Amino acid sequence: MIKFFRKIRYDLMEKNKTGKYFKYAIGEIVLVVIGILIALQINNWNEQRKQNSQERYILNQLKVEFEADSIKINTLEKLTTGKMNESKYLLQLITEYNKDSIRFIPLKPIFFIGKAIPFYDYSPTYNELVNSGKLNVISNDSIKIAINDFINHNAQMESTLYVDMHAKKSSYMNHVYRYFNGEINGLLWQAKMSDLSELLALGADYNGFMEDPNTIYELNKVLASDSELSFIYNRNVKNKLYLVLDLLNREIQK
**What is the pLDDT at residue 99?**
64
Lowest mean pLDDT among 39-43, 122-126, 241-245: 39-43
Rounded to the nearest integer, the mean pLDDT of the chain is 83
pLDDT at residue 205 greater than cutoff 50: yes
pLDDT at residue 170 greater than cutoff 70: yes
pLDDT at residue 17 greater than cutoff 60: no
**What is the pLDDT at residue 185?**
76
Is residue 11 very low, low, confident or very high in pLDDT (cuts 50, 70, 90)?
low
pLDDT at residue 233 greater than cutoff 70: yes
What's the average model confidence in pLDDT over 216-245?
96
Q: Which amino acid makes up residue 198? A: E
Is residue 165 very low, low, confident or very high in pLDDT (cuts 50, 70, 90)?
very high
What are the residues facing 180 on neighbouring strands? 204
Is the pLDDT higher at 233 or at 186? 233
Is residue 46 very low, low, confident or very high in pLDDT (cuts 50, 70, 90)?
low
Is residue 96 very low, low, confident or very high in pLDDT (cuts 50, 70, 90)?
confident
To the nearest whole percent, how much of the chain has pLDDT over 70? 74
* Torsion angle, alpha carbons of 160, 163, 167, 173, to 10: 130
**What is the pLDDT at residue 12?**
47
**What is the pLDDT at residue 61?**
95
Is residue 184 very low, low, confident or very high in pLDDT (cuts 50, 70, 90)?
confident
Lowest mean pLDDT among 36-40, 213-217, 243-247: 36-40
